[in-house]
Amino acid sequence: MLSVRIRLLTTTAIAALLVVPGVAQAAQPAGANAVQRGLERLVAAPGGPPGAIATIHRGGRTTVLSAGRSDVRRPGAPRASDHMRIASVAKAFSGAVALNLVRKGKLRLGDTIGQRLPNLPTAWHSVTLRQMLNHTSGLPDYSGSQGFKDQLTSDPGAYVSPSTIVEWIADQGLVFPPGSSYAYSNTDNIFVALMAEAATGKSYGGLLKSIVFRPAGLSETSLPIRSTALPRPFIHGYLTEPNEPPEDVTTLISPSGAWASGGLVSTPRDLGAFFRAYLRGKFFGTAQKRAQRRFVPGGASVPPGPGANSAGLALFRYRTRCGTVYGHTGSFPGYAQWVAATADGRRSATTTLNIPPPEGAALESLRRMQTAAVCALLSK
């Protein structure tokens, strides 16, 4: 059984019970009941998540909706203060760092890998920071490499350095000429962080603290790379299959292998606060905000978010039947994440499942619930 689950885990990483009514921290916005029903349907479905949570922040107050269990061994629904792996939502944080450095003149969106990281393979040297931030770089995705697969199956909890990630794909050329197409690649944000380090002489973790965490008041957000443990309290992450007990994979995989592309730990409350600050432009100026919001049509996040997706610079636009929001999704073994905010940064929504993103009909059910969250967020 373990080998079957490990194979499932590998596939998930490459792609990227009891129902307990949630308790709102403020008067529920119109449409919140639809979000609650969507959470409950996901939890009740065969192979669905043991637990799910959504937050809707508007008017300075946060409504928390939840279903199921944060930990299958004991009662208790996920809470907005619970820690979790945020998966590829971490890419927005590396975007905040990069655009901050662009505003300060330490980086330019037109800077190339060859200029900033000349020791990387010459085949990649023409790729620009802009192209990495909007996934038009053509860089091969390291999460599809044999080295990454071997790491997951042989020693998933071991520390992985950024240089090891580079080694896994160093013999590969570009998938397409830079800027000519769109392809979501986890490699992009690894190199964004390496560029930021090269431009400042500071560690990426240090840059996150000084540029993002402290200014935005994110006291519960961190980048652990040497430990698989999560701060308490936390939402347990699971792999599930119909008619089988959930398998807890919370601490199975080292987040170092995702690093700037998906290694951060946060809480639903902190995530909403970050994205509201991100959309307000707290970390960079008007020129960078304009550049960020030049979208590549059809550039879907992975997994796809609600409505029609388009890719900006470390940001996705989600056009739904109720209106448009801007955010990011994330996939990590044990966690499916989505967070978005309004263009002015005044309102935000988050959704979390404590399983990897589902597929097929279950994914569409998740996207419908996220659309319901957008409708509740934007309601009068």
What's the Cα-to-Cα distance from 195 to each of 189, 214, 258, 270, 315, rounded to whole Å? Answer: 10, 22, 16, 26, 19
Between β-strands 308-311 and 247-248, what pairing exists: parallel, antiparallel or unpaired?
unpaired
Judging by beta carbons within 10 Å of its beta carbon (0-12, 13-18, 19+), is residue 37 exposed, middle or buried? middle
Q: Are 30 and 380 in contact (CB under 8 A)?
A: yes
Per-residue confidence (pLDDT) for residue 27, from 0 to 100: 65
Mean pLDDT of the chain: 93
Spatial CB neighbours of 281, under 8 Å, sequence gap ≥ 6 = 288, 289, 345
Q: What are phi and psi of 307, to 5 degrees?
A: 70, -155
Task: Give tens-digit pLDDT for 257-277.
Answer: 999 999 999 999 999 999 999
Spatial CB neighbours of 164, under 8 Å, sequence gap ≥ 6 = 147
Task: Give tens-digit pLDDT for 26-64.
Answer: 468 889 999 999 999 999 999 999 999 999 999 999 999
Q: Are 251 and 237 in contact (CB under 8 A)?
A: no
Name the pTM for this structure.
Answer: 0.93
Per-residue confidence (pLDDT) for residue 321, from 0 to 100: 98
380 pLDDT tier (thresholds 50, 70, 90)? confident
User: Which CATH superfamily groups domain 2-378?
Assistant: DD-peptidase/beta-lactamase superfamily (3.40.710.10)
Q: Are 263 and 90 in contact (CB under 8 A)?
A: yes
Task: Give tens-digit pLDDT for 273-319.
Answer: 999 999 999 999 999 999 999 999 999 999 999 999 999 999 999 99
What is the DSSP code string of 75-119?
-----TT-BEE-GGGHHHHHHHHHHHHHHTTS--TT-BHHHH-TT
**Beta bridge mates, 329:** 338
Domain ranges for the chain, please list them.
Answer: 2-378
Task: Give tens-digit pLDDT for 223-246.
Answer: 999 999 999 999 999 999 998 999
Closest CA to 195 of 310, 58, 94: 94
Q: Has residue 10 got a pLDDT over 60?
A: no
